[in-house]
Structure 1
Amino acid sequence: MFFGALGGCTGTYFASPFYMIKAQQHAQAVQSIAVGFQHKHTSMMDALLHIYRTNGISGFWRAALPSLNRTLVASSVQIGTFPKAKSLLKDKGWITHPVLLSFCAGLSSGTLVAVANSPFDVLTTRMYNQPVDEKGRGLMYKGLVDCFTKIWRTEGIHGMYKGFWPIYFRSAPHTTLTFVFFEKLLHLRDRYVFSQRRN
């Protein structure tokens, strides 16, 4: 579980600039329907150059912490809950077919990932999309705790779960299929690779 979370966090850290630009471009709209702060990037390259000229190298990672927390939680929940769900379903005798067992355990894990991860998705998106001053400091949120506090006070728990269903329909199928294919590949490995070595 530790190495899964570590691997996820490493990838997230290096991809953070692109995730930030994606969040900013998703929120961008024409003036007549624009809501919230508009970064007005014309392309990914324009966004990279603008961030670098305005805030330097550190500007690319200004909101990496909530993104790292998001990945840490998702990886830990995903890797930690799948084997437990699988054991429970198998031990209770509810599901015996191997593929169906992997599917249901993966779906359970994916559901828990969505529930645990939704607040971190909201925090990450809000911090990535906020305007910053000339020193790269957020004009709306000072940091992760400030962002959480302001959302909680003004929007309550509902604010932490905005966009939950899109997160669920992204996380649950992804987690389910990942574990179904992973378990099937392990089965094929044991059947064809290890059996040949024993012979």
Structure 2
Amino acid sequence: MSTNAPTRPVPVLEEPARGGGHRFWSARRVPAALLALLVLAGAGLLLYDVASVQAGRPGMRWRRDLADDLAARQLDDVAVVAGAGVAVALGLWLLLLACTPGLRSVLPMRRGDEPLRAGLRREAVEAVLRDRAVAVAGVQSARVRARRRKAVVRAVSHFRELDHVRTDLDAVMRDAVTELGLARPPHLSVHVVRPARKK
């Protein structure tokens, strides 16, 4: 059955010319917001404590207790090692987010002369290929899974020879992938089977 999923490109982003095969960079809004809130809360708490000490009041009890506790612990203490491990893991995760583009669900399209980039979501690519697949004579239904490097098409044929259906379907899918204008057209894997017999 065909679907009417939107096939329009995702919002176009302006970037310098660097080739059309690179993934789009994710804004990483959730990790950035969480980190910003954490830093803001910690900085505000420390600023309040420093201002309180400068005003002649004693520092916060939890900070004094924490400082005394850390001063009494050895570097090979389990709590110190565990805390350091958590801090290192968090830092590596943030570095990974900062150095990787993300947005694996958006497949970049070929670039023309304009300094703009466009992409198609995988769901849109799958919808287009599925619509084209069910239009092939002999195909009863089809499922498509599109990835960055590979698109798997599984079709059910209720009449015609399977070899003929597979040949026609493979040709139609190749034309459809070409017409999508993707910067890196995925490799096609086409499978055609008969409907399962009802018991």
TM-score, reference length from structure 2: 0.31
Bigger share in strand: 2
Q: Greater CA radius of gyration, 1 or 2? A: 2
TM-score, length basis structure 1: 0.31
Greater helix proportion = 1
